Structure 1
Amino acid sequence: MKPADPAPVTTAGAAPDRARFGLVLLHGRGGAAKDILSLGTALGLPDLALAAPQAPGQSWWPTSFLAPTATMAPHVESGLHAIDAAIAALNLSRAQIAIAGFSQGGCLALEYAARRGDLMAAFGLSAGLVGTSDAGGPATDALYGHAPKRFDYTTDLAAMPIHISVHERDPHIPLTRVQQSAETFCALGANATLVTAPGAGHGILQDDVTALRRVLNR
C-alpha cells in the first residue's frame, strides 16, 4: 500500500534563525492550520516560530476520540507523522519546541507527548488521551458510553510540562478521561497541570493562553 502523503505544514512567526522557541499548533475538527496559527500569533512573542500541519479533510480522525483504540490507531499514527513534519519545518532543537492543540488537535498533541516526549512542553486544550475499549470492563456513563482505555505508555517525560484543560461538562471530552490523562502524565514523570473550567463548554480558556505565554516567554 502506498504511504499517505505527508500533511502540508504552514509556518508563521519568527524565522528559524531568529527564533528562540518554536510552537507546533494542531487544529480541531473542521478547523484549518491558518486558523489555529492565530492562537500562536496572539501570544505576541516576536521570537516564537510557529508551524501548523493541515489534517486531510480538516479532521485528524472521522470518529470521536473515544472510539476503540484499535480503530483510532491508523489515524493517530498519521497525525504523529504530521507533527514530525511540523517539528522538522521549524528547524530548531526539540528542546526548543512546544506542541499545543485544541479539541481533536489537543488529543493528538497529548498522544504525541505520551508516545514521543522529548519536547519543551505540551498543551492539550479541551483534550484527553485517545482511545477506549482495550482495558476490559463495561462501558460507563463517565466515558460517555465507552469502555475503559489501557494507559500503557512507557515514555520517560522527565518533568516535561504538560498542560491539560477542559470544562466540567464538555459535550465531547469527558472530565473522567481528562483526569485519567493528567494522572497518566504524572506517572510518566511529567509536570502535569489540569485546569477545569466550571459549567458546560468546549473551547480555549484564558488560563490556556496564560500558560502558553508563561512557558514560551521564559
Structure 2
Amino acid sequence: MSELRKSGLPLEQAKKAIILIHGRGATAESILSLSSYLNLTDYAILAPQANGNSWYPFGFMASDEGNKTTLERSLGVIAAAREELLAAGIPDERIFFLGFSQGACLSLEFAARHATRFGGVVAFTGGLVGEKLQPEKYSGDFRDTPIFIGSSDRDFHVPAKRINESAELLRTMGADVTVQLYDDPDHTIRAEEINWVNQKIFL
C-alpha cells in the first residue's frame, strides 16, 4: 500500500481538503513543500507517495499497454485518498487535486474518470494520459469544476497540443478549464501559476 503523508488541518477539523500528487522521481515530501506557497491554511492536505517515486513507468503518451498496470494501481491510490476524505465527511465539492508533471497527468486522469463537482483541479504541466485521447474512458459531469492547466508552450515532456486537446475534452464534460501556456522552455511551476490558482481556485 502506498504511503500517505498528511499535513494541514486534521481531517476531523477541516472543511476542505487537497490531494497533492508529486512528479516522476520526486516525493510526497517535495510536493508538500509547495503547500506553503498556496492558500491552503484551512485545508487538510494529503500527499500519497508513489512506489519507486514514479506513478507509471513510461511517458504519459506512451503505449497504453506499457503503462496500464502501474497506472491503474496509481489511480487506485488516489481513489483511496479520496475515499478517506469522503469518509471523514468532506464532500467532493470541497476536495481539490493538484499535481506537477507526472502528478499533473495523474490528477487530470483521475478527475476525468470520476467526473463530478470537485472543488478544483490544478495541473502544473500535464495532460490526460494515453497514446491517444479516448473520450469513452471518461464519464460523469464536472458541473463547472474549475480546472487549471499551466505549462511551457514548448515543454519537452508535455506537448501543448495534448494540453489543449485535454482541455477541450474536459470542457465537453462540463469543466471550467483555464489553460495558460508560457513563452519559456522551463519544466517548472511558475510564480504566475501559483498566483493565478491562489486568486481563482484556493479562495
Question: What is the TM-score of this pair, normalised by structure 1?
Answer: 0.85
Give the counterpart letter for 1:61 in structure 2.
Y
Shift of 1:17: 2.6
**Aligned Cα root-mean-square deviation (Å):** 1.6
Check the 8 A contact 2:120/2:201 in 1, yes or no.
no
Q: What are the equivalent positions in structure 2 for 1:1-218 lying under 5 Å apart? A: 6-90=1-85, 91=88, 92-118=90-116, 119-132=118-131, 148-152=132-136, 153-215=138-200, 217-218=202-203
Higher Rg of the two aligned structures: 1
Check the 8 A contact 2:146/2:201 in 1, yes or no.
no
Return the alpha-carbon distance in structure 2 between the equivalents of residues 216 and 200 of structure 1.
Answer: 25
Return the alpha-carbon distance in structure 1 between the equivalents of residues 94 and 169 of structure 2.
Answer: 24
Check the 8 A contact 1:51/1:87 in 2, yes or no.
no
Shift of 1:44: 4.8
Give the counterpart letter for 1:201 in structure 2.
D
Check the 8 A contact 2:115/2:141 in 1, yes or no.
yes
Structure 1 unaligned spans of 5+: 1-5, 133-147
Check the 8 A contact 2:115/2:139 in 1, yes or no.
no
Question: What is the TM-score of this pair, normalised by structure 2?
Answer: 0.90
Shift of 1:37: 0.7
Check the 8 A contact 2:97/2:121 in 1, yes or no.
yes
- Residue-by-residue CA offset, 1:159-212 (whole Å, 9 max, x unaligned): 111111110110100110001011111111110110101121111122332233
Check the 8 A contact 2:57/2:67 in 1, yes or no.
no
Return the alpha-carbon distance in structure 2 between the equivalents of residues 199 and 181 of structure 1.
Answer: 21
* Count of residues in correspondence between the two structures: 198
Return the alpha-carbon distance in structure 2 between the equivalents of residues 169 and 210 of structure 1.
Answer: 21
SS at match of 1:98: strand
